[in-house]
Every structure is written in C-alpha cells, then in structure tokens.
Amino acid sequence: MHGTQEVRTSGAQAGETALGAWPVGVPRVYCPIVPVGGVHPQAETVGERSVEWLAGFGIFDGEQSLRQQIVASRVGEAVGRAAPLASDEGLQLYADWSAAAFAFDDFYCDMGPTSTQPDAFLDVAMRVLYRIERPEAARWDQTLLSDAFVDLSRRVRRLAPMMWPTWVTGHQDWFLGSVHGIARRAGAGGRPAGIADHLATRSSDGAMRLNHALIEMTEGSRLPDELRGGPAVGAATAAAYTLVLLANDLISYRREAETGATNTNCVSILTPPGGTVEDGMERVVRLHDRIMSLYIRLSHQLRATGDERLRRYIDQLSTYIRANLDWSMNAPRYHAHNPGATPTSAGAVPCWSAEPLDGSLTAPPIPSIAWWWEQLR
C-alpha cells in the first residue's frame, strides 16, 4: 500500500463499486486521503451471506423491518472498503460482526424499550458479554443476538487466538459506551453532554476499538504494544476514530432526528443556543477538518520514522477513514432519510472539499483532545 497522500481522486478506481452522492443537506468535509486497495472482491458476496447468517439465529422473525435495516446497511461494502486486504474468511467474520453490531444497535441501543432504559440495557449487555467471553455457556434466556455473538467468538478463537483478549475487552468497551449514551438520552432531561465529555466517550459508543481490531485481525497484522502505546500513535489513532464518528454524526443526523435520538449526536452538541441544525453542522465540519489536518501531519510524522509496522498501521487507519466516507455515500441506511441523495452512476465524483474549512494546527479549546496536537513535532 502507498502512503497517505494529500491528493484528491476523481471517479471510481479499479475494483471499486460506483460511488453515490453526498447526502443532501449535509455540508461537505475535507478528506485528502486517497483510498488504497479499492474494495475487496468478495465484498458483495460476504454482505449477502451476512444477512442470511444473521437470519439463521431467528433475529428477523417477526422483525422484517430490522432485516431491511441490515440490508440497507450494506455491511459487505463497509468492510470490503475498510479491509480490502483481508482474507476471505476474515472478511466474512468482519461482515458478520458488523451485521450483528448494526442489529444490536438498532434493536437495543437506538430503538426499542432498552434504548431509554439503561438498567434494562445493562441486563442485556451483561448477558451477552458473559457469552462472548464464555461461548461454551448455554443461552439461559431469550436475549436476541447472544447466539450470534457466541458463533463469532468461536470463529475468532480459531482465526486469531492471539487477539482474543482484544476481542473481549473491545466488547466491554463498546457496551460501556452504549450504556453511557442510553443514560444520556434517558437522564439529564435529554440534554446533550458537553463536547469534551462527548469526544472522550464517543469512540467507545461507536465500537471503534472493535472495528479497528477486526481490520487488523482480518488483514493479518497487529502493531506491537510497545509501539501502540506511544503518545503520537495514540493521538493519531484517537483522531482517526473521531474523524469516522464525526462524519457518521453528520450523515446520520436526519435519521436520528426521526427517532428523537440526536442528543448524543455531535451536531446537537455543537449547535449554539438559538442556532439552527445548519449552524451545528458547520461547527462539526470545522472540527472535523481541523482534526483531519492534524491527522495528516501526524501520519506523515509517524511514517517518517521508517518503521514498516507503523506505516502499515497508518495505512489501515487512513483507509478506514476514507472507506467510511465512501461507504456512507452508498448505504441506503442513510440515503433513505436524504431524498435526492441516492447512489448515482458509476464514476460519480465524491463531494469532498478541496480545502479544510478550518485547517489550523493549534489545539481547539477542548481539553479532552488538546493533547493530540501536543504530539506534533
């Protein structure tokens, strides 16, 4: 793979699926990252298999709307862009997990009775966590999806036993973040958290560590802990995760507004008192572009060390950032809530901004992330 370049692309690269249009009503973001590796050739196939795999656990029995939501998520494309160098078996595992994760979010976190009841959600989460860590245990209740996660756990043990601890702790981190988001919606009069708290917890709620671990797992790479724990690597990693999540908040805002779940969306958090949704979106874009400018500098800085393992690590992070944006332009999960923004013809030009709305390389006044900029050299 080549290094991240500050060059925009036009059209679809070889092996890629056609890109759709940027969602109507969502301001464009700055993304100079060139997608490397295209889309995994098995992306569409593994996506179709994932829906049927999930159906085999009875997840969609009486819940056909949930099946439609999972189909609309296009998990095959999502993982095929994020992990283009994955083995076929690894990509299927990643796609199956993504389908289960979307279903878990839709069924327990974003909709349904547990989406506003953190105590009820904790009961579900703890039961599922127990079976993820101990897949030999029988299911003793009617918790949907626990059998699916058990199947995934068994496959992780076979495919990447060295990453088993990360698999378990990643789910713990995800469910902790999820219950925090549910508690925010249920309590405090539904008021959004402050931006510093939001950015400190959003990566957990978004299962970023798990997504990243699955990319490494399926592509057969793992940055050693002695390198992973460095502050510059930590800053680049956290910045990459946040770029993915800020873009998701922008694109999913309309969908979340329909279910009254926007108080954990950065658009709502950054909307000024008396301001409009458009004001909030502009502030999110400014923050996104400022973090993107930082990430590009950090990625070059880490590549300059000459360590091939770091280069590979940055390649994966950069590919994930861009893959998320490209997938978002195609996923009906979002476009169904943005009339007029359905996928267009092959070769459609992505609607990225050529320049950042805010390209400052000084830290914003957000104490939970200001340390990222301190790693610049």
Over the stretch 173-213, which tens digit does the pLDDT of each residue have?
A: 999 999 998 888 777 555 567 899 999 999 999 999 999 99
pLDDT score at 23: 66
Mean pLDDT across 91-119: 91
Is residue 110 predicted with pLDDT exceeding 90? no
pTM score of the predicted model: 0.89
Match 């249920």 to its residue by tokens.
Answer: 186
User: Comparing C-alpha atoms, which of 331, 350, 356 is closest to residue 80?
Assistant: 331
Per-residue pLDDT reduced to its tens digit, 308-336: 999 999 999 999 999 999 998 877 776 55
User: 338 falls in which pLDDT band (50, 70, 90)?
Assistant: very low
Backbone phi, then psi, for 24, in 5-degree steps?
A: -60, 135
Six token digits for residue 77: 């494309």
* 351 vs 155, higher pLDDT: 155
Q: Give 342-353 as a DSSP string.
A: ---STTPPP--B
Distance separating alpha carbons of residues 57 and 84, to the nearest angstrom: 28
pLDDT score at 142: 83
Percentage with pLDDT > 70 across the chain: 87
pLDDT score at 333: 72
Instruction: Give residue 22's identity as a one-letter amino acid code.
Output: W
Angle at 213 between CA 210 and CA 218, to 5 degrees: 120
Distance separating alpha carbons of residues 33 and 9, to the nearest angstrom: 9
pLDDT score at 62: 76
CB of 91 within 8 A of CB of 80?
yes
CB of 156 within 8 A of CB of 164?
yes
Mean pLDDT across 34-60: 92
Mean pLDDT of the chain: 86
Percentage with pLDDT > 90 across the chain: 66
Of 236-240, 257-261, 279-283, 339-343, give the lowest mean pLDDT range.
Answer: 339-343
Is residue 218 predicted with pLDDT exceeding 60? yes
* 255 vs 5, higher pLDDT: 255
User: 252 falls in which pLDDT band (50, 70, 90)?
Assistant: confident
